[in-house]
Amino acid sequence: MTMTKLLFVSILALLLMGFHGAPLQAQNAMQSSGMDMKTMKSQMEQMRAQMEQMQTLMKDNMAKMAAADAAMKSHMETEQASMKSQMELQQAMMNQLQTMTDHMQTMTDRMAMMPDAMDMHKKSGATKKKDKGMVDDQKK
């Protein structure tokens, strides 16, 4: 039992010293904080200045990003217009080629319908050969 009382008294003494020592620590902190207040104020000023610099940089970056976005949008619109123009040109070329092909087919069909004209052409070629032969005979 004496051991328990001794232990109890020791714990009580430690607790009392802890409570009694705490105000001393607070007083020491308050005395040293007089010097720290000036330091804290200068640190706060530095932090405020840094925050203002960061805000300025952020505003500048936002403005640059907005300008870059506008330039990119303009570039994309130009590229889109260029692609559209290129496609229209290709379509016009294809239409022209198709028109030429159709015209050539029409001419071929018409020539096929005119057998007499073809025969006359063949005959005139044969006649020319005969005429040429006669001219050669006359020269001899």
For the chain (140 residues), the mean pLDDT of every run of 10, in chain order, is 71 69 53 72 93 94 95 96 96 97 94 72 58 56
Using alpha carbons, list the distances in angstroms from residue 96 to 91, 99, 103.
Answer: 9, 5, 10
96-134 burial, b for 16+ CB within 10 Å, e for fewer? eeeeeeeeeeeeeeeeeeeeeeeeeeeeeeeeeeeeeee
Q: What is the pLDDT of residue 15?
A: 73
Half-sphere exposure (Cβ direction) of 108: Cα atoms closer than 13 Å:
6
CA angle (13 as vertex; 12, 14 as ends), nearest 5:
90
Q: What is the pLDDT of residue 37?
A: 85
Residues 123 and 116 sit within 8 Å (Cβ to Cβ): no
The whole-model pTM stands at 0.42
**Residue with tokens 């805000």, as numbered in its chain:** 55
Q: What are phi and psi of 114, to 5 degrees?
A: -110, 75
Pair of tokens at residue 121 = 């052409």
